[in-house]
Amino acid sequence: MQILVVDGPNLNLVGTREPSIYGSETLAQIHELVRARAVELGVFVDFYQSNHEGRIIDRLHVRDFDGALVNAGGLTHTSVALRDALLAVARPFVEVHLSDPSQREPFRGVNFLHDVAIASVVGQGPRGYVLALDALVAHLRGGGG
C-alpha cells in the first residue's frame, strides 16, 4: 500500500514559521513520525511539498498512490483546482492541519476540501499526521476511518 503525503505552500517553513500556531517541529521531523508509523503499519509513504499549486496538482495526477494525507495549507481556503484534482484522481484522502483553521481568521472558515475528504484531522499538531495516517490506512483496509 502506497501513501502520498502532500504538504502545500509555506509548510516547508514549519518549525520556524509562527511556532505559537504551528509548533517548533520541522516538516522533516513530522515526516519522520509518519515514516515510523508507516513502518509499524506495513505501508509505504512518499512525501511531496510544494509552494506551487500547479506542481501539487501535477503530482496528484501521477496517481501512483492508494491514498493521500493532504495538508494543503492556505490552498485549503482558495483552491477549487486542488479540490477538482483530488476528485479527479479518485483516491481517498485525509485532510490534515497542524492548527485548527476554523478557530483562526474568519477567511479560514472557507474549506474546499473538507466535504470530499474521508476524514479531517485538525488542531492536533504533528500527532495529527499520524492520526490521519491511521484513519487512511484503516479506510483502505476496509475498516472505516
Which residue out of 31, 52, 77, 97 is catalytically annotated? 97
Which residue out of 22, 48, 77, 129 is catalytically annotated? 22
Q: In 3-state terms, what secondary structure has residue 28?
A: helix
- Is 97 among the residues known to form the active site? yes
Nearest to 94 by CA among 49, 48, 131, 143: 131
- Is 22 among the residues known to form the active site? yes
Which residues 6+ apart lie within 8 Å of 36 measured at CB?
none
Which residues does the annotation mark as catalytic? 22, 97
